[in-house]
Amino acid sequence: MTRQRKIIHVDADCFYAAVEVREQPELAGQPLAVGGRASRRGVIATASYEAREYGVRSAMASSRALSLCPQLVILPPRFDLYRSVSQQFHAIFRQFTDCIEPLSLDEAYLDVSDCQAFEGSATLIAEEIRRRVRDELGLTVSAGIAPNKFLAKVASDWRKPDGQFTVAPAAIAEFVESLPVKRINGVGKVMTAKLADMGVTTCGDLQQVPLATLVKRFGKYGQRLSELARGEDERPVQPARVRKSISVERTFSDDITAPEDMQLAVADIVRELQQRFGKIADRYMPVKRVVKVKFRDFKQTTLEEILPDDGSHWDDISAYQRLLQGAWARGGRPVRLLGAGLRLKPLGDENDEQLTLFGEAQMAE
């Protein structure tokens, strides 16, 4: 008999902002964000719940955030502090399991299948983790408990902030039946629209689509969609995961033809890349800047350049725009997808091996 896995996904609530409020209690109750300065085309990394009431969101341009909420307090990120707090999180996690897969400074998967605490109850283990984080660190985290990573991550968002939700094995079929497909990782606005055109808005709807149809329409990702729609996910929690790259891609519902529109689009993509890399900047150094262009006929090209030894100025939007101009010139045709990314090297790793970016087929939005 196959052992039933017990996975917890722990996700801190407004992590950067919450840490800043803990350090500066006078900020409590104010709309607060952590991110770059509007004068330097910065982006928001995290927004407090008070700021979110005004429509402020992560990956949003700081200038846009201030237009929505003029009284917004934007603080520069302090990654040394956030890294220290993250290490404190993990010290608590390790009291229950060594099988921990960090996704960023503020979230992680925990496999507690072999943990004997609380008679092996993953739900009670999650409650104890949340209590200790609250009592010892003065912060709150939310948790999702399920037999696999996909459902645990969905569940952790179910009762945010400072809550948790359990998807028991016997409840999976009912849980996914009405789950919106946009809850599936990788299903963004474009994919959601494509599935809606097929009459699919929930995982229950998706279950009714033949696998052959999904594979024909979406390639290998169609197989993945079919599995997740049924709540199936066999990925193990991987404690030693080294990231080789980070990227943001955007597929357009209408092909882009004007170079100036491409330049504006890649600027937005780089702003989102800034926000994503900020979560792992304490562990990786950028070594190359890369852009990707996929043309109307699905032919694609990438162009890259080496960054300074210290990885500085990796987020220079004008540099990405220059690279994009060179990549687009190779085809000179309407564009259906743009991507921007970085090749990475773990900090302290002197291995200069070639790392792949955009190397695996994925359904990007």
What pLDDT does 241 receive? 65
Global confidence as pTM: 0.71
Cβ-Cβ contacts under 8 Å for 340 (sequence gap 6 or more): 247, 248, 266, 269, 270, 273, 290, 291, 292, 320
Q: Where are the alpha helices (DSSP H) in the chain?
A: 15-23, 49-52, 62-68, 79-93, 122-132, 149-156, 172-177, 189-197, 203-207, 211-218, 220-229, 259-278, 317-329
Question: How many C-beta atoms lie closer than 10 Å to residue 42's C-beta?
Answer: 21
CA atoms 201, 154, 241, 87: torsion sign: positive
The answer on whether 197 is annotated among ligand-binding residues is: no
Cβ atoms of 126 and 164 within 8 Å: the answer is yes
Cβ atoms of 216 and 242 within 8 Å: the answer is no
User: pLDDT tens, 33-61?
Assistant: 999 887 777 789 899 999 999 999 988 88
Instruction: Give the HSE-up count for residue 356: Cα atoms under 13 Å, Cβ half-sphere.
Output: 4
Cβ atoms of 340 and 250 within 8 Å: the answer is no
The answer on whether 233 is annotated among ligand-binding residues is: no
| C-alpha span between 133 and 76 (Å, rounded) | 24
What pLDDT does 168 receive? 96
| C-alpha span between 123 and 11 (Å, rounded) | 15
| C-alpha span between 127 and 56 (Å, rounded) | 30
Residue 111 is encoded by which pair of tokens?
């496999």
Residue 43 is encoded by which pair of tokens?
């982006």
Q: Which residues of 84-101 are buried (b: 16+ CB within 10 A; e: fewer)?
A: ebbeebeebbeebbebbb
302-310 long-range CB contacts below 8 Å, 24 or more apart? 302/327, 302/357, 302/358, 303/327, 303/330, 304/343, 304/357, 310/285
Residue 268 is encoded by which pair of tokens?
């937005």
Measured at the CA of 123, the angle between CA 122 and CA 126, to 5 degrees, comes to: 85
What pLDDT does 317 receive? 92
Walk along the chain (365 residues) and give the pLDDT tens digit of each residue: 467 899 999 999 999 999 999 999 999 999 999 998 877 777 898 999 999 999 999 888 899 999 999 999 999 999 889 989 999 999 999 999 999 999 888 999 999 999 999 999 999 999 999 999 999 999 999 999 999 999 999 999 999 999 999 999 999 999 999 999 999 987 888 889 999 999 999 999 999 999 999 999 988 889 999 999 999 999 999 886 677 889 998 888 788 999 999 999 999 999 889 888 887 887 788 999 999 999 988 889 999 999 987 777 888 899 999 999 999 999 999 998 999 999 998 885 443 333 334 333 232 32
SS3 316: coil
360-363 long-range CB contacts below 8 Å, 24 or more apart? 361/219, 361/220, 361/221, 362/186, 362/221, 362/249, 363/186, 363/187, 363/191, 363/218, 363/221
Cβ atoms of 233 and 223 within 8 Å: the answer is no
Q: Which residues are catalytic?
A: 107
Residue 166 is encoded by which pair of tokens?
């359990």
Domains, the chain: 1-167 (3.30.70.270), 173-229 (1.10.150.20), 245-346 (3.30.1490.100)
Measured at the CA of 268, the angle between CA 267 and CA 273, to 5 degrees, comes to: 95
